[in-house]
A and B are shown apart, each in its own frame.
Chain A
Amino acid sequence: MKVVIDTGNYIAARAAMMAKPKVVAAYPITPQTTIVEGIAKYVENDELDAEYICVESEHSAMSACIGAAATGVRTFTATSSHGLLLMHEMLHWAALARLPIVMCNVNRAIGPGWNIWCDENDSIAQRDTGWLQFYCSSNQEVFDTVIQAYKIVENEKVLLPAMINLGGFILSHTSLPVRIPEQKEVDEFLPPYEPKWRLDVNHPITHGNIIFPDDYYKIRYNMQLAQDNSRKIIKEVAREWREKFGTYHGDLVEEYRCDDAELVILAMGAIGAEAKVAVDKIRKNGLKVGLLRIRAFRPFPEEEIIGMAKKCNKLLVIDRNISVGNEGALAGETRACLKDRVEDANVYGFIAGLGGKDVTYIDIEKMCKMVIDGKAGRVEWYGLG
């Protein structure tokens, strides 16, 4: 075990390297680029024994990962924003093909106008692709989640791809200390990938040919079961990691000072880290506020949110994304899962930080105050100015 101080992107690259993928296919895009540069260096220096395919687009990056994963090897890629959007078709393909690909996505706004700062609309736009989605709030969490993700998705009860999101610049380009285990320990935690099926000349199968409605319907159902199964496995893997390596960030969610809370903040990604500071500050003033940080957006932590709403019926949901024409994705899904299950739940949606607009703990304190003072509506666009 050693402590390394590095940016979220280099930490992501290091985690990917230690997970030992055999094929990496990726394309540069700000603010993700240093992840693939990091990987390229590991491969060139023989620190990672992988084929690094310098594809000509993100669509091809995901297609190449699909081809490689279908041939039975562990794969990795990373992207952001427009790159993720270009992949969209192949994200569905990877999930329907049940290939356990792991990808980092550095959350970044979508143009026009060109904006390279943090915004979660890129990944939220992929929420129905069947991928597991994790949102990280520290570089340590990025490291741990990348390696954990392989163990989760390669479990035969899951076999779906996973996307690990980290905020553009806020984590991707900020250096923080991270505890890095020995390779040997990671190898013990994450054994080599044993594919359930592969393109094999001795057992020829055709993958992805025409499928009629009855069978297609079952395939979709099985994907849903896999997402449901992953809940338990995410928890088990997080626990195992904590026992082995000592770091822990929660499982599907992380609860922070919620026990006696009268108002609970729901947030994802780096805003989750900022919210912890806000909680501490507000509590100093005697107000009982807690945080339910959403780590997994898919599978959606329904049970955890319902459980929390039963204890504390005031939920302040912060979304760094907007489903234009409705509201923030987390707020909308929170409302949907509470409807008819927790009668008296009050959900206050806050849209904040789009296009990289700062969301500091002071802003979060102000949001809390608005709710406590009864000044918050159903959906607030915080800081429009």
Chain B
Amino acid sequence: MAIKDFPIEEYVLPGNAACPGCPSTMGLRTVLKALGKKTILTIPACCTAVIQSWYPYTSFNVPTLNIAFEAAASAASGIAAALKKLGEEDINVVVWAGDGGTYDIGLQALSGAIERQTNFLYICYNNQIYSNTGIQRSGATPYAAWTTTTVKGKKEFRKDIGEIIIAHHVPYAATACVSYPEDLYNKVKKTMGIRGPKYIEILAPCPPGWRFSMDKTVEMGKLAVETGAWILYEYENGKLSFNGISKSIAEGKYKPKPVEDWLKLQGRFSHLFKPEKDIVRINAIKDHIRDTWEHYKKLASL
């Protein structure tokens, strides 16, 4: 669906306290437009927990349960179970969590909820850091990125949560990026027709966290996809397929831009270019991107 045809209803209302250019509100706005009014949100500790505005006000126009950092998926299990007993299973049970709440502290609850076939949609908006607490590394932070706990750049590569989720044999999993709202909208819509656990991970470029200008969020997400640093895919009925530009990259119809084009615009990678170019680490990033692609192409061919 084209953006102009999105429902006019807004569920993320003015008055929220997000940073200008925040990818979380951008993504959530699209997600809630797709899901509509019959939705219950569960939000663990993360930026979205603090940007809803403060008691007794809220800028979210769907019922929302805030919950502890590691507890979103299990709280959603309880909501889904209660709705089943109340005969209200037409309501979408949705978790909206950051990458810290998903990759790290919330992984156990998420794995349990998926294994139990909880009928819910779990969305991770991945800004690749703990931004709520002021930009610390997470399991999703990419190699070499500066954070306040990796001041010389992260030494490890990010965890591949997508594969972990897929290994649970979910009926639906997908990646998305805030820069492609139509794609995100369609993916969310698709989950609404599927019972059981659904997972969508949205790349969410965060201006203060990644150190770029707040008017560049969309561009930063697009570049991540265009350079191949972020792959758009869907996993459905046991099949993985690429979407959007990632599909063109996979088919050899689109030549990925050099990853430096994306890295250079972000302050968190500035140490890779100053005082001189850090060829070793930039090459390691390139190798990682190449290996990830090879791996995913294999998965797609299964």
Contacts and interface: CB of A to CB of B under 8 A. Distances in A.
A206 B71 contact: no
B54 interface: yes
- Which of A23, A61, A71, A89 has the most B CB atoms < 10 Å from its CB? A71
Interface in B102-132: 108-109, 111-113, 115-116
Interface stretch (A109-117, A197-205, A247-255, A316-324): A197-205
Contacts of A137: none
A65 B67 CA distance: 12
Interface string B57-83: 010111111111011011111111111
B111 A201 contact: no
Nearest to B49: A209
Chain A interface size band reads 35 or more
A200 B111 contact: no
B111 A215 contact: no
B63 A23 contact: no
A346 interface: no
A25 B78 CA distance: 8
Interface in A280-296: none
Given A73-B85, A90-B68, A206-B66, A199 B79 contact: yes
A52 B112 CA distance: 14
Interface string B83-104: 1111000010000000000000
A211 B74 CA distance: 24
Contacts of B111: 56
A97 B29 CA distance: 27
A204 B82 contact: no
B284 interface: no
Interface residues of B, number: 46
B66 to A, nearest CB: 3
Nearest to A201: B38
A207 interface: yes
Contacts of B154: none
Contacts of A66: 65, 67, 71, 75, 78
Contact of B85 (A51, A63, A93): A51
30 contacts: A23-B85, A51-B85, A53-B78, A54-B116, A55-B74, A55-B77, A56-B112, A56-B115, A60-B77, A63-B75, A64-B77, A67-B67, A67-B74, A70-B75, A89-B71, A199-B65, A201-B40, A201-B91, A204-B61, A204-B62, A204-B64, A206-B52, A207-B63, A207-B64, A208-B66, A209-B49, A209-B53, A209-B66, A211-B55, A215-B56
Given A23-B78, A51-B84, 17 more contacts: A22-B81, A55-B74, A56-B109, A59-B70, A60-B77, A63-B67, A67-B77, A71-B79, A72-B82, A73-B86, A90-B68, A199-B63, A201-B63, A204-B62, A205-B63, A206-B66, A215-B56
Interface of B: 37-40, 42, 49-50, 52-56, 58, 60-68, 70-71, 73-86, 91, 108-109, 111-113, 115-116
